[in-house]
Structure 1
Amino acid sequence: MELDTKTLWFIAGLILILLEFTAPGVVIVFFGVGAWIVAAGMWIGWIDSVPAQCGTFAISSLLLLFVLRRYVTSWFVGGSTNGGDVEEEFVGKKVRVVHAIGGGEDTGKVELKGAEWRARCDTSLEPGSHAIVTGRDGLLLIVKPNN
């Protein structure tokens, strides 16, 4: 079975769009749609030559990227807002200690929303005890005992 150029552009576009789900940034999808535009143009008969295919692909992909990216990002990333709301996801939440946390700089693990997070506390906390998240340092949660 031999594939024609139109079908190859379509398959390339499909692969690029699916790759968007594995890579962050909402960029690759526009190149996938650009490949589909080339495939559609070839099926209609508007695009014949290789330079026309490459030019259409480049121009349409970049135009879509720069014009639509800010609108389409929420479809792939979700309705997240600025980083200020990220703190609200953690601070004040009750967590369960999974692996002991030594006081000071020693870290342990806590469970929050079904996932384990590295955590630090000024005092020692034993597994099974509960704590409250007071802050975050990257992926490290800062907790205090739940009194």
Structure 2
Amino acid sequence: MADWLANMEPHWAWLSLGVLLAAAEIVAPGFFLIWLGAAAIVTGVFAWLIPGIADSVPTQLGIFAILSFITLYSARRWLKANPITSTDPNLNQRAGRLIGEVLTLTQAIENGRGRAKVGDGEWPVHGPDAAEGTKVRVVSADGGVLVVEAA
């Protein structure tokens, strides 16, 4: 082990770990590591301010474990009571964004299946039989297939 790491004051190690965990949240977002980082930072503050804790690694690990549990449990309860809502819930759901759009059939719908022009491409559609060139409205999406009705 490097001498600088072995000689590091415990509170600096905890504070550094907390900052690294918070930074890791940016790289691997999941809204989880930030709470462990907060627990590590608070553990570092305890180790800095309370003299007896700095000499006992098991006590520090116990404090970190308890604080981790408390922060994760509290965050989970708070997020359950206050869910984060998106201003654009269909942001990464292209088919969902097409609901309500009027499209032109490029291939007639026969036996419930056909194709429609969407932007510069074509999408498979499912709906009542209709001739090529008919205008249809998207009512829902089933995976990559648009469910349509006559417009």
Shared fold, TM over 0.5: yes
1:2 pairs, out of 4, 21, 29, with: 4
1:1-147 alignment, distance < 5 Å: 2=4, 4=8, 5-21=10-26, 22-24=28-30, 26-46=31-51, 47-48=53-54, 49-72=56-79, 78-80=84-86, 90=97, 92-94=99-101, 119-122=123-126, 132-137=137-142, 140=144, 142-144=146-148, 147=151
CA contact under 8 A between 1:12 and 1:35: conserved in structure 2?
Answer: yes
Amino acid at match of 1:144: V
5+ residue gaps, structure 2, are 128-134
Q: CA RMSD in A?
A: 4.4
Say if 2:22 and 2:33, in contact at 8 Å, map to a contact too: yes
Structure with higher Rg: it is 2
Relative to structure 1, the CA distance from residue 120 to residue 69 in structure 2 (aligned partners, 3 Å threshold; closer, same or farther) is same
Give the distance between the partners of 1:67 and 1:132, measured in 2 at CA.
45
Q: CA shift at 1:32, angstroms? A: 1.0
Q: Secondary structure at the match of 2:146?
A: strand
Name the TM-score, length of structure 1 as normaliser: 0.57
Conservation of the 8 A alpha-carbon contact between 1:90 and 1:133: no
Deviation at 1:10, TM superposition (A): 1.5
Q: Residue deviations 1:70-128, cap 9 Å, x none? A: 325799x8325xx9xxx9x647343889xx899677889957xxxxxx953138xxxxx
Q: TM-score, normalised by structure 2?
A: 0.55
* Aligned residue pairs, count: 126
Offset from partner CA, 1:2-55 (integer Å, 9 cap, x none): 35232222222122223334233x322211111111111112135221001100
